[in-house]
Structure 1
Amino acid sequence: MFNSAVLESISDINLLYEMLQAEFSLDGWDAMVHIADKLHHSINAFYEEDQLRQAKGQPRIDTKRLKRSVAFYFGYSMVAKGIALQKMGDYSAARDCIEKYSELGWISGLDDEGKEDVTHLRMIANANTYVLNLLEGNMETLPEYVQFIHNAEEEELLPGIITILESALKHNCNVDWALKEFEPNLDALDGEYETEANIRYYIDHLYLMSLYHFTNGNIYNALNISLKGLRMSDKLKDDTGYKKINALFVSFSVHATKEQLNEYNVLNKTILERVLKDEKGIRYDGSSIVSVR
């Protein structure tokens, strides 16, 4: 549970970055705004103190305290805040965040890593501008955004698909042609992700894809995608995603085939058996819970 009083006591820049990632995985949008502001304030204080020391001819702050460049933390704080504000529907404030990380070349003393981060953040700013345009209903920019995803780094694929699906659902548009463009890329994804952020993107794209198909009446496909989402969110230990997709499947389970219901039941039995392994004195025998000595 987010605690603003505890946040005020934290000054470790690396820890604040990790907290942002954790809140993103939990859809903690309000908490992300507060943590992002704290991170931005902290990296700004770090940078200003370092600049002041240099001006006075004093030894610089040990940058080894940071795992990434100063530019990265400046940018990431505003990227995270912008995403949270976007998720909460405050598109104007999200655009203000984009402006703050679209050009960070003003930061003094950047090494090669820092310069690469500035370039990467400029690309993210461009991508997130497309995102806001689409979410605001400017669907005529979709072909341009599809081309942008094709030309961008691989990490933009899932956020891009999520944006396309969110905008389609929000504005009741058919985007089958755009999804078809990336079908081979999506089919090649295996769900082997290491970071919480990438897991969140992977599971969310399955959730939204299922929701999109439900909305367009493709119930059979939607249920199959939901089942895949349940399998993968269980495998990747994404409880947030599992809850959302499970609610979706159960709500439409009346339309499920016998095979789909069987797959759903087998999955839940497997989960129950795994959970009860840690419970003393009881066991699941496949149809009921029994006491054991």
Structure 2
Amino acid sequence: MITNTTTIRLEIEKGIRQKGHSLSSFGKLAGINRGIISGILNGNPPKSISIRQLDLMAEALGHPEGWMYEYYVDECFINEKADWRRIKAFLLRCTEIGRYDCIQAVLDRLMEDLSNTVSVFGLAEELYEEGKVKESLPFYECVIENEKHQHSERLAIAHYRVFRASIGENTEETFRAAVRFEPFRDRLPENFMLDGLFYLANIYYLLQNWDTVERYAEELSNLVTMVYNIESKKIDNDNCYLPIKTERPLVFYYGQSSLIKGVALEHKGHYEEAKKYILQYMDLSWFKGLDEDGEKEVHKLTYFATANMYLMDVMMGNITVLPQYIGFLENHPEEILPAISNILKAANEYEFDIDEILSKFANVIKNDFVYSKSQSKISLTSRYINLHYQLAIYNLRKQSNNEGISNLIESLKLSIKIYNKNKILDIIALMQQIKSIATSEQLAEYENLLKGVGSDEKINNFVHSFFRSN
């Protein structure tokens, strides 16, 4: 009976004959001892082949990388028993050359015994810690699909790793990743949970779901306060204090919980209440256990609080602070883009003129990518979406119709790019009201963009109503 393992050996023997080699000359060419090759081909039972040996022989025979890998899966299961050392070496090699078909075949065999999820999880963590995030994902997905204990920390971490890796440029896909991860957030170790809540809050910020942003800010606040109280006691009582291992300094999460809560309240129009939360992160120099990185975070938070306090005054219609706010922005150009969007929002609400401000920062706004290299693309794109949307309203209010509609179309382009469904709906609703003042070229461009908005039922209903009314 010819099996996959005998097929590999038959192909090696055939290749050796065709090349006219003896075992000795082939061994020298491949860099493998003649006795080992003989044991592999002629032993009774045959000696197992390591993946390294198979690669060396494939190269000596002139075959490409990954030769016979689909047959090698059986080599990992001697007498149907998993040889983890051999399996791990094979899986790592498959990740290097992208043979995910072989990875899946091995994982399917391994999951015949669900206790192997422990080893698979360990391999996933090893790859992740080495920065091989994409390569680790099939192994985390395997754990997610096969972990028996639904409340295990291992399963929660696997969900968390996949969630973090899924945060990308498409808001709809990122949202799906968030929904999948959410039920497992409170099963994580505290150091992972801090980041999990922080990223969940930021995703719902991009989706403009302010109630959910507020909820996750509160969860983050409760968690980080509890962790800080424990850490604070350790600092007071332990001369050899070692801080909890977190991705960022603990003070970052402490400050961000108040910052995010304040932002959510701001977007809900609760400006006075938002100010109370701004004061909570205005000065965190009292925070225990600050190292150099922690001190930097305290400085950043003070800077954000200063900017946001100016912003709250403007959003409440107090335009007397605008000169001070503008002076602050001139010294902190990285804040200009989000600030201008919010100043525009206030100008639109309270109907005041900011032409001079827009003119002052025209070049900086246009080239803001220079100041935003550390930002995610989705976050930066969202800022430009809001900027052009508010500019559209501002220009339309000032009867600059052509410019306003151009701004609205630009906002739509960017919203479609990252599939920000909520903003697409806002733009379509506004365009329905003003389409009579659009030029034929603008309408043609707009209609062409609408054809690429996807298959969402609510959006499509808006789109169809637009075309029916034309």
- The TM tier, using the shorter chain, reads 0.7 to 0.9
For 2:280 and 2:184, the matched residues in 1 are separated by 23
Tell me how many residue pairs correspond in the alignment: 271
- Name which one, 1 or 2, has greater alpha-carbon Rg: 2
Q: 1:199 to 1:122 in 2, by over 3 A?
A: same
TM-score, structure 1 as length reference: 0.84
Q: In structure 1, what is the Cα distance between the partners aligned to 2:184 and 2:314?
A: 34
Find the counterpart in structure 1 of residue 387 from structure 2. Answer: 205
In the alignment, structure 1 residue 99 sits paired with structure 2 residue 282: no
Output the aligned Cα RMSD.
Answer: 2.6
What is the correspondence of 1:199-278 to structure 2 with a 5 Å cutoff? 199-269=381-451, 271=452
Aligned to 2:303: 123
Q: CA deviation at 1:217?
A: 1.5
Q: How far apart are 1:153 and its partner, in Å?
A: 4.4
Judge conservation of contact 2:311–2:342 (CA < 8 Å) in 1. Answer: yes
Report what 2:150 is aligned to.
Answer: none
Q: Identify which of structures 1 and 2 has the higher relative contact order when contacts are C-alpha pairs closer than 8 Å and 6+ apart.
A: 1
Q: Report the counterpart of residue 16 of structure 1 in structure 2.
A: 197
- 2:218 corresponding residue in structure 1: 37
Matches of 2:252 and 2:391, distance apart in 1: 31
Counterpart residue identity of residue 220, structure 1 = N
Which stretches in structure 2 are left out of the alignment for 5+ residues? 1-174, 457-470
Q: Once the two structures are superposed, what CA deviation does each residue of 1:154-207 show, in whole Å capped at 9, x if it has no partner?
A: 1x1122101211111121111111111111122224699625433322211111
Q: Is the 8 A contact 2:382 2:415 kept in 1?
A: no
Q: Structure 1 residues 143, 56: CA separation in 2 closer, same or farther (over 3 Å shift)?
A: closer
Q: Supply the distance in 2 between the matched residues of 1:234 and 1:130 (Cα, whole angstroms).
A: 32
Letter in 2 for 1:172: E
Distance (Å, rounded) in 1 between the aligned partners of 2:455 and 2:209: 26
Secondary structure at 2:226 match in 1: helix
Query: Within 1, Cα distance between the matches of 2:317 and 2:198?
Result: 32
Distance 1:76 1:95 in 2: 14
Native 8 Å contact 2:408 2:427 kept in 1: yes
Distance 1:29 1:275, change over 3 A: closer
Q: Please identify runs of 4+ aligned residues in structure 1 that moved more than 4 A.
A: 5-8, 58-62, 189-193
Residue in structure 2 matched with residue 27 of structure 1 by the alignment:
208
What percent of counterpart residues are identical? 26
- Pairwise CA distance, 1:227: 1.0
Report the TM-score, using the length of structure 2 for normalisation.
0.54
Q: 1:34 to 1:67 in 2, by over 3 A?
A: same
Deviations along 1:206-234, whole A, 9 cap, x unmatched? 11111111122211111011111111222
| Offset of residue 241 of structure 1 | 2.3
Contact 1:98 1:128 in 2 (8 A): yes
Equivalences for 1:57-136 in 2 at 5 Å?
Answer: 57=238, 60=241, 63-64=244-245, 66-136=246-316
Counterparts of 1:52 and 1:25, CA distance in 2: 37
Q: Which amino acid aligns with 1:29?
A: W
Cα deviation for residue 52 of structure 1 reads 1.7
Distance 2:378 2:243 in 1: 29
CA distance in 2, matches of 1:60, 1:25: 38
1:138 is matched with which residue?
Answer: 318
Q: Distance in 2 between matches of 1:109 and 1:161?
A: 36
